[in-house]
Amino acid sequence: MIKITTYTLEIIKFKVFITLLLIMIMGSCFVPVVAGDKIGPEITVSKAGGDECVLPADEIRRLHPGLLKHDRNSTMREGIRTLSDGGHLKGSLKACINCHAIKEDGKYINTSNPNHFCTSCHVYAGVSFDCFQCHRDTPEK
């Protein structure tokens, strides 16, 4: 027969208390999603620059880093800056900025503003970007 002491009971009570506390803390971290709730960031994208993007929105969200890197390599290593018809490359950061730039109070906003179309999504995703250390974050227009 196992002898249960007061000390053993106190340890069991403490372990149960900690377990329940952890369950309550973890449970409060999950917020139920109700049908119709908008999931994801509030991404601010101006569509004034053109009729459609170079790819559908879901593809651009997934593939834009690769497009930008591919076209960066084409430009920097091969000297290709435009398509043969004079248009922008699909991953042209300049074209993205010129098309999707957002104005507030009549002026284009830069990446320090949380409403900038790059910043709004990258902050939500927890992803940093350093494109604008060298490139413009407002259009040339």
The pLDDT, as a whole number, for residue 35 is: 56
Place of tokens 């000297």: 79
The pLDDT, as a whole number, for residue 42 is: 66
| DSSP labels, 32-89 | PPPTT---S-------TT-SS-SS-HHHHHHHHHHHHHHHHHHHHHH---S-TTSPPP
Residue type, position 12, single letter: I
The pLDDT, as a whole number, for residue 3 is: 73
The pLDDT, as a whole number, for residue 32 is: 64
- CA max distance for the chain: 89
The pLDDT, as a whole number, for residue 58 is: 81
Task: List the chain residues with pLDDT less than 50.
Answer: none
User: Model's pTM, two decimal places?
Assistant: 0.57
Q: How far is CA 4 from CA 10, 12, 71, 82, in A?
A: 10, 11, 72, 81
